Amino acid sequence: MSEERCKGRGGLGAGLVRALGTMLGLHLQYAQREAVNDLGRILGGALLMVVGAVLALVAVLFGHLALSDYLATALPCTPMQAFLLVAAGDLVLGLPLILVGRARVKKPILAETRALVRRTVTSLSESP
């Protein structure tokens, strides 16, 4: 009687196709959510790197001019030595922002989706 019931609904093959379609739909939804999260992370990291670079450039342009002039008159050093002292300070301010942004961009994209697909394929291939 169970064979008649399966044949009436389209058979075992149709049920497997529906199940596979449902599973692939869930994978697609999960991948889309993860892609949106990854895109936000990457854009946020890129924005931090741009902000860090702009701040570093502004500091280099204005800070070097003003502080180099001050250090050249206040310390027994040449204007070039004063300029290099200010450049070292700018690096201390700008590099942490760039490093944080780079770390946010460095993570793999769609890692959870790839792991989920790998587990699904493995479980399907192990089924009798």
- Residue-level pLDDT at 128: 56
| Residue 10, C-beta contacts closer than 8 angstroms, at least 6 positions apart | none
- The model's pTM is 0.41
> Which helix (DSSP H) or strand (DSSP E) does residue 72 occupy?
helix 64-74
- Residue-level pLDDT at 9: 56
Tokens of 62: 């204005």
| Residue 120, C-beta contacts closer than 8 angstroms, at least 6 positions apart | 23, 27
Tokens of 73: 């008159």
Q: Which residue has the tokens 């990291």?
A: 45
- Residue-level pLDDT at 10: 63
Rounded to whole angstroms, how far apart are CA atoms 41 and 22? 29
Digit-by-digit pLDDT tens for the chain (128 residues) are: 444 454 555 677 777 788 888 888 888 888 888 888 888 888 988 999 999 999 888 877 887 788 888 888 898 888 888 888 888 887 888 899 899 988 888 877 777 778 877 887 777 777 55
